[in-house]
């Protein structure tokens, strides 16, 4: 089934994405931690260098990448090595001289970052300058290494996510396949005995009527016949659902089918029932075939289920309109609209065995859920619109196929099955 494969594929993608995300986050966290530790250690080292230079060095011999200036008696002196342009910071030195408060400044200039410490030393004011260009280069190298590691980690994350996703979801896919085979086997084995029970129930009901058995007993026999018929329909639904979920090679062959002819046959088959209920049933179809590629029995079941649903929820005096048309050259559309009770748009009518809320609950059973499976399995879509008390409108859209088989044979096959 397409929905089943989508669920498995979606589960694989989710597991893969989660694993990949976990690996990516882990690599990113390690990189951020390493970068943060490097920056912290460098700043500590720079502060130690500035403190040592300001407290113990003299302007003529500070360590490499540092400069020291001295403010004494209103004059600023420095070492023999020329200072970078813009240094020393005379304003900071005079401010510290007047207030006695040390000042730390970071200045970005000349393509690098300078750390400046201005403080008092005895009666003098000293200003130590540290060029952090080598530390910044180390940071850039680390960032490049982290970026490469991140890319490699992302590749590993994607690959490991795909592998883990397949391994993790494999039991789910196997479980779904086993469940599908079990349903198909059980449904196939139950069809014959249920058909036999239904036939015997029909025979008993006829004999009871001929033998003049009291009406209440005949009514119970008729109810038994209806129950066995519905049981057979449920088994057929399960079997068809399992076949739709099977691998493409195990499915029934998809042949060109005339959608208009199938709709016409379904309407003819339900005319008597609609007349008994006092419901007007009409069909609008083009004069030319409307070919779609699909399984004839499955598509016939779609139309039959929509008509059954409409007849169930349309009271006497209502109307059901069936329309087959070609809204686009590559799209065929089947519309079943009724003037019945309708349903709440919030109801999940395509869920299996769903019962709507409110005083008039709409019980969907397997029918509409299976109907959606059939339509999506044929590459189509189904749309349901309604409001309580305003009727319902179901629109099935299917891709147009090649020329269908002769309409007469299709019609005869549908009528015979009905």
- DSSP bridge pairs for 115: 106, 130
Query: Residues 93-110: pLDDT tens digits?
Result: 999 999 999 999 999 988
What is the predicted pLDDT for the residue at 57? 65
pLDDT at 135 exceeding the cut of 60? yes
Query: Residues 366-398: pLDDT tens digits?
Result: 567 778 878 887 888 999 988 788 899 999 999
pLDDT at 411 exceeding the cut of 80? no
Q: Mean of the pLDDT values across residues 194-214?
A: 81
Number of neighbouring beta carbons within 10 Å of residue 9: 13
Q: Which of 228, 178, 179 is nearest to 202 (CA)?
A: 228
- Cis peptide bond prior to 292, omega within 30° of 0: no
CA 31 to chain centre: 32
pLDDT at 142 exceeding the cut of 60? yes
| Beta-strand runs (E) in 309-353 | 319-328, 331-338
- Tokens standing for residue 127: 């200003």
What is the predicted pLDDT for the residue at 341? 85
What is the predicted pLDDT for the residue at 319? 94
Q: Mean of the pLDDT values across residues 161-166?
A: 70
Q: Which residues contact 268 (CB under 8 A, 6 or more apart)?
A: 415
d(CA 364, CA 355) in angstroms, rounded, equals 7
- Residue 247 or 166, more confident: 166
Q: Mean of the pLDDT values across residues 203-222?
A: 80
pLDDT at 406 exceeding the cut of 50? no
How many distinct helices (H) and strands (E) make up the chain?
8, 12
DSSP class of residue 112 equals E
Query: Residues 281-339: pLDDT tens digits?
Result: 999 999 999 999 887 877 888 898 899 889 988 999 999 999 999 999 899 999 999 99
What is the predicted pLDDT for the residue at 239? 67
Maximum CA extent, the chain: 136
Phi-psi region of 412 (alpha: psi -120 to 50; beta: other; left: phi over 0): alpha
Rg (CA), the chain: 41
Q: Mean of the pLDDT values across residues 225-240?
A: 72
Considering only 43-52, 194-203, 265-274, which range has the smallest mean pLDDT?
Answer: 194-203
Which strands sit side by side in the sheet containing 331-338, from one edge to the other?
A: 280-284, 319-328, 331-338, 392-399, 381-386
d(CA 321, CA 283) in angstroms, rounded, equals 6
pLDDT at 169 exceeding the cut of 60? yes
Asked whether 268 and 300 are in contact (CB, 8 A), the reply is no
Which of 340-349 are b and which e, b meaning 16 or more Cβ less than 10 Å from the residue's Cβ?
bbbbeeebeb
Q: Which of 224, 218, 303 is nearest to 265 (CA)?
A: 303
pTM of the prediction? 0.47
Average pLDDT over the chain, rounded to whole?
Answer: 79
- DSSP bridge pairs for 256: 293
What is the predicted pLDDT for the residue at 89? 92
pLDDT band at 360 (very low <50, low <70, confident <90, very high): very low
Considering only 2-6, 12-16, 252-256, 362-366, which range has the smallest mean pLDDT?
Answer: 362-366
Percentage of the chain surpassing pLDDT 70?
78
Please spell the DSSP secondary structure of 20-83, one letter per residue: HHHHHHHHHHHHHHHHHHHHHHHHHHHHHHHHHHHHH--TTSPPTTEEEEEEETTEEEE-SSPP
């Amino acid at each position: 089934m397409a929905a089943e494969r989508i669920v498995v594929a979606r589960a694989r993608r989710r597991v893969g994405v989660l694993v990949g995300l976990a690996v990516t986050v882990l690599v990113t966290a390690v990189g951020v931690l390493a970068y943060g530790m490097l920056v912290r250690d460098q700043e500590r080292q720079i502060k130690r260098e500035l403190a040592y230079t300001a407290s113990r060095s003299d302007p003529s011999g500070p360590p490499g990448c540092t400069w020291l200036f001295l403010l004494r008696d209103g004059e600023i002196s420095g070492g023999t090595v020329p200072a970078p342009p813009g240094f020393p910071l005379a304003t900071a030195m005079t401010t510290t001289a007047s207030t006695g408060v040390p000042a730390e400044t970071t200045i970005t200039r000349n393509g690098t970052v300078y750390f400046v410490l201005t403080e008092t030393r005895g009666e003098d004011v000293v200003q130590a300058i540290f060029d952090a260009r080598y530390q910044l280069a180390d940071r850039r190298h680390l960032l490049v290494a982290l970026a490469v590691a991140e890319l490699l980690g992302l590749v590993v994350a994607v690959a490991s996510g795909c592998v883990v996703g397949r391994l993790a979801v494999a039991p789910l896919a196997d479980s779904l396949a086993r469940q599908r085979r079990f349903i198909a086997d059980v449904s196939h084995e139950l069809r014959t005995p249920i058909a036999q029970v239904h036939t015997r129930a029909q025979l008993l009901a006829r004999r009871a009527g001929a033998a003049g058995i009291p009406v209440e007993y005949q009514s119970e026999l008729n109810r038994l016949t209806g129950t066995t018929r519905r049981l057979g329909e449920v088994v057929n639904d399960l079997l068809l659902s399992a076949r739709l979920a099977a691998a493409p090679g195990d499915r029934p062959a998809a042949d060109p089918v005339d959608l208009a002819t199938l709709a016409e046959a379904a309407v003819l088959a339900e005319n008597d029932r609609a007349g008994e209920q006092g419901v007007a049933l009409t069909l609008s179809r083009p004069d030319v075939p409307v070919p779609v590629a699909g399984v004839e029995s499955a598509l016939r079941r779609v139309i039959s289920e929509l008509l059954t649903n409409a007849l169930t929820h349309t009271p006497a005096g209502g109307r059901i309109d069936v329309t087959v048309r070609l809204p686009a050259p590559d799209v065929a559309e089947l519309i079943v609209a009724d003037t019945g009770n309708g349903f709440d748009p919030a109801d999940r009518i395509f869920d299996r065995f769903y019962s709507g809320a409110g005083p008039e609950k709409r019980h969907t059973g397997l029918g509409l859920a299976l109907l959606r499976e059939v339509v999506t399995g044929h590459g189509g879509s189904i749309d349901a619109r309604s409001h309580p008390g305003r009727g319902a409108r179901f629109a099935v859209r299917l891709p147009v196929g090649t020329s269908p088989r002769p309409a007469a044979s299709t019609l005869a096959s549908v009528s015979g099955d009905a």
